[in-house]
Structure 1
Amino acid sequence: MRGLSVVCVVGPTASGKSALAELVATRLGSSVVSVDAMQVYRGMDVGTAKTPVAERRRPLLMVDVVDPDEDYSVQRFQTDARDCVDALLAEGLTPVLCGGTGLYLNAVIDEMAFPVGEKDGGVRERYERIAADRGADALHALLAERDPESAALIHPNNVRRVVRALEMSDEGVSYARHHEGLHERAAHYPARIWGLSWPREDLYARIDARVDQMVEAGLVEEVRALAVRGLTTDVTAGQAIGYKEILEVLSGRIELEEAVELVKRRTRRYAKRQLSWFRHDGRVRWLEMGEVSLEEACERIVSDLERREG
């Protein structure tokens, strides 16, 4: 296959990535490879906005990979997702990567290694205790105070990675510095990255509407079923926005109305972090979705691909 190997559709949550990626994959006769840190978990469908199976027009890969109580690292994701991409390329197809987890996207398309040497003992336990006693936000705030660069790269709900960054800080190593040059790395796959952008108020309105739709679609029931199977806030999946808050509702700590507002507020903050990550990547070509339709955006992506491969 000459020219471009991979097309990527990225952007903040609720920006329309999935719909656009599916349109592109349909035009190309290919498949969509999800690069979303939470869609890998089985049974987490409503709260992660997975396209329902019955509505998928093209195969959607790298979803429903593991159970929510399983340990699934970005290193494992890198291996599994690249297997999917390689299989599509071997068939002469152009993989369409889609998602908002910037680290997972870079893990697939760039040459990346990750911190190793997981620790046990008192230091780790101390940080984990802070998260357990005072919450993930308090632990993230500690990292932000000590190493703001690293804190900006890590989602507050990713307690495991926050703990690792604090451990590295104790060793005199910055997690952010370890990943310095992340967006200038050598490419593992030649890729064309397209980002979806909306005016802020429009994006926030879309986020609020999506959260309301999730609740109407059965988010509480989904989390209740997962809780029966053992989902708690002690695992990464249980820290996902939407799931953590509903788990608190089910435990009686907060009311549903408060939880819904928390989900909206935390999702808006997450969207800002997503945009910040992708805007630091000079390869991203931005589509102003307030000015173009999904069909027009798809045509622009496919035309660009055909021009580069022609």
Structure 2
Amino acid sequence: MEEEKFDLICILGPTASGKTTLAVALAKMVDGEIISADSRQVYRGMDIGTGKDLEEYGDVPYHLIDILDAGEIYGVSQFQKDFKRVVREIRSRKRIPILSGGTGLYIQAVLQNFSHTYIPRDFTLRDSLIDKEYSDLKQLFEKLPKAHSFNADISTHKRLIRAIEIAKWLEGNELLEEPDLSIEPIIFGINLDLDTRRSNISERLRERFDKGLIDEVQQLLDKGISADMLIFYGLEYKIITQHLQGDYTLEECFNKLEIAIHQFAKRQMTYFRKMEKDGLKIHWVNQNTLTERLDFITKFVP
């Protein structure tokens, strides 16, 4: 087996696949620090719904978790900046950065150094686009002068609207380049068979309900976080907020959420496969137990 040079380890995979457990065990082996690549774990107070499991880290240092209050805006451009800063800090301590998470856009943006900047949201534009069909939005996007001046992710209706927003903003503004950060990543992707993945998701969702997931969402509402913002965060926060507003019974809420998370996990895997097509080499970890996964990874990571 040809030896791969690397200075950063990435663990990616769908929700409920055991990424944190694997990343923590690996960090202990290689003297590493974990960088979370999760678009919702950045928010304080959103703990159960995002699966932070902070006690699992033990004495392993972790980064980019609980850095903002719920209700604030955070996106890929800020993640890139924070990622570069944290990697430099970890390297200064002579330790190995371990990027771990399931937000494919964030992971791909930092590993392939996509050009992003903080571009303000245009809510008037969004309101004018939200009800349009995906095909109409794509046609509109393709006609914009700046449509191909950046690496746009147009894989979903929501992301296509954001791409239009960025392209229109770029017509009158310029992207500012940040100092580059050189990294040589080695990427491991957890690949569960469908039955195991679905079983894990359903079991974990029941556990989260038992731990007080509905109370967590109610507490966020009580703190003044708007229902619209929680719905924007998606999945647990969206559907439980709608339940608390009286749209669904508790049973309907659970069932709708279970289906939504299964669909989300499928989209995650689709995005990871897209990353491969875009040139990122992923070593797929097909084993189910932690010991077997570590045995596989240590073939590449001495």
TM-score (norm 1): 0.79
User: How many angstroms does 1:166 deviate by?
Assistant: 4.5
- The reply to whether residue 240 of structure 1 matches residue 234 of structure 2 is yes
Taking a change above 3 Å as real, the CA distance of residues 145 and 115 of structure 1, as seen in their structure-2 partners, is: farther
Give the Cα separation in 2 of the matches to 1:34 and 1:63.
7
Could you give the per-residue CA deviations for residues 134-156 of structure 1, whole angstroms, max 9, x where no partner exists? Answer: xxxxx5x72356439978634x6
Aligned residue number for residue 288 of structure 1: 286
Taking a change above 3 Å as real, the CA distance of residues 85 and 75 of structure 1, as seen in their structure-2 partners, is: same
Question: Which runs of 5 or more residues in structure 2 are unaligned?
Answer: 142-151, 172-179
User: How many angstroms does 1:55 deviate by?
Assistant: 5.6
Taking a change above 3 Å as real, the CA distance of residues 236 and 103 of structure 1, as seen in their structure-2 partners, is: farther
User: How many angstroms does 1:100 deviate by?
Assistant: 0.5
- The reply to whether residue 109 of structure 1 matches residue 105 of structure 2 is no
- The reply to whether residue 302 of structure 1 matches residue 298 of structure 2 is yes
Instruction: Check conservation: 2:239, 2:253, Cα contact below 8 A.
Output: yes
Instruction: Check conservation: 1:143, 1:166, Cα contact below 8 A.
Output: no
Give the Cα separation in 1 of the matches to 2:76 and 2:31.
28
AA partner of residue 191 (structure 1) = P
Aligned residue number for residue 209 of structure 2: 215
- The reply to whether residue 66 of structure 1 matches residue 68 of structure 2 is yes
Aligned residue number for residue 182 of structure 1: none
User: How many angstroms does 1:31 deviate by?
Assistant: 1.3
Aligned residue number for residue 38 of structure 1: 40
Instruction: Check conservation: 2:137, 2:161, Cα contact below 8 A.
Output: no
Aligned residue number for residue 273 of structure 2: 279
The DSSP-based 3-state class of the residue aligned with 1:243 is helix
Give the Cα separation in 2 of the matches to 1:121 and 1:60.
34
Give the Cα separation in 1 of the matches to 2:253 and 2:230.
19
Give the Cα separation in 1 of the matches to 2:188 and 2:56.
27
- The reply to whether residue 18 of structure 1 matches residue 15 of structure 2 is no
Aligned residue number for residue 149 of structure 2: none
Give the Cα separation in 2 of the matches to 1:16 and 1:66.
25
- The reply to whether residue 165 of structure 1 matches residue 163 of structure 2 is yes
User: How many angstroms does 1:274 deviate by?
Assistant: 0.7
Aligned residue number for residue 82 of structure 2: 80
Aligned residue number for residue 143 of structure 1: 134
Could you give the per-residue CA deviations for residues 42-96 of structure 1, whole angstroms, max 9, x where no partner exists? Answer: 1111000111337634122110011111111211111112211111112211111
The DSSP-based 3-state class of the residue aligned with 1:252 is coil
AA partner of residue 284 (structure 2) = W
AA partner of residue 162 (structure 2) = R
Taking a change above 3 Å as real, the CA distance of residues 218 and 117 of structure 1, as seen in their structure-2 partners, is: closer
- The reply to whether residue 269 of structure 1 matches residue 260 of structure 2 is no
Taking a change above 3 Å as real, the CA distance of residues 272 and 56 of structure 1, as seen in their structure-2 partners, is: same
Q: Identity of aligned pairs, percent? A: 29
The DSSP-based 3-state class of the residue aligned with 1:305 is coil
Residue correspondence of structure 1 range 170-249 to structure 2 within 5 A:
188-235=182-229, 238-249=232-243
The DSSP-based 3-state class of the residue aligned with 2:90 is helix
Instruction: Check conservation: 2:14, 2:269, Cα contact below 8 A.
Output: yes
User: How many angstroms does 1:169 deviate by?
Assistant: 8.3
User: How many angstroms does 1:187 deviate by?
Assistant: 8.5
Question: Which runs of 5 or more residues in structure 1 are unaligned?
Answer: 131-138, 174-185
Aligned residue number for residue 180 of structure 1: none
Give the Cα separation in 1 of the matches to 2:74 and 2:204.
27
User: How many angstroms does 1:123 deviate by?
Assistant: 3.1
Matched positions, count: 275
Aligned residue number for residue 133 of structure 1: none
Higher deviation after alignment, 118-127 or 247-256: 118-127
TM-score (norm 2): 0.81
